[in-house]
Amino acid sequence: MESIKNFEAYKAMREIKFRAWDNIQNKMTYSVSVYSELNEAPWWGGNHINPETDNTISSFDNGTIMQYTGLKEIYEGDIVKARYYYQYSGSSSNWEWRTRSGEIRFENYKWILKVGDYEKIKLGDIEDSEIIGNIYENPELIKT
């Protein structure tokens, strides 16, 4: 019972939503429920992904689950054009506004915008953003 109370408190802090990319039908499904292997109760409401009863996505092998970041309608796997303040050359007085596009990821317990192979920007450092696609429907938007 304590874990349910903790989950309810966490849920109140930010909305928890999921979406899923279906590798078979090549489409995105929103409002997805995630089921625990320990029971059949959904972790979160919406369309159900349950290998026993639903053909939409029969398992994680046939699709990818992505979590909502809590910002705008940005989900993991989205490609976002973002504006942020950047410090360069190691000096505290050398700051500039930058605009970059990249993929939203959850790495090392934080949401980031991954730009190319090396640059990672924490979502909290982003001033303004626009969703321009996602890695499944618009992979050409990712620049490496």
Q: 57-103 pLDDT, tens per residue?
A: 434 567 788 888 988 889 999 999 999 887 776 666 778 888 999 99
Q: Rg of the chain over CA atoms, in angstroms?
A: 18
Interval 39-70: pLDDT, tens: 554 444 444 444 444 433 434 567 788 888 98
Same domain flag for 59 and 100: no
CATH assignment at residue 110: 2.30.30
For residue 87, the enclosing domain spans: 78-141
Tell me the C-alpha to C-alpha distance, in Å, between residue 127 and each of 76, 77, 98, 99, 113.
18, 19, 10, 10, 12
Q: What is the pTM of this model?
A: 0.69
Torsion of CA 68, 72, 73, 76, to 10 degrees: -40
In a domain, 57, yes or no: yes
Q: Is the pLDDT of residue 119 over 60?
A: yes
Query: What is the number of alpha carbons within 13 Å of residue 112 lying toward its C-beta?
Result: 13
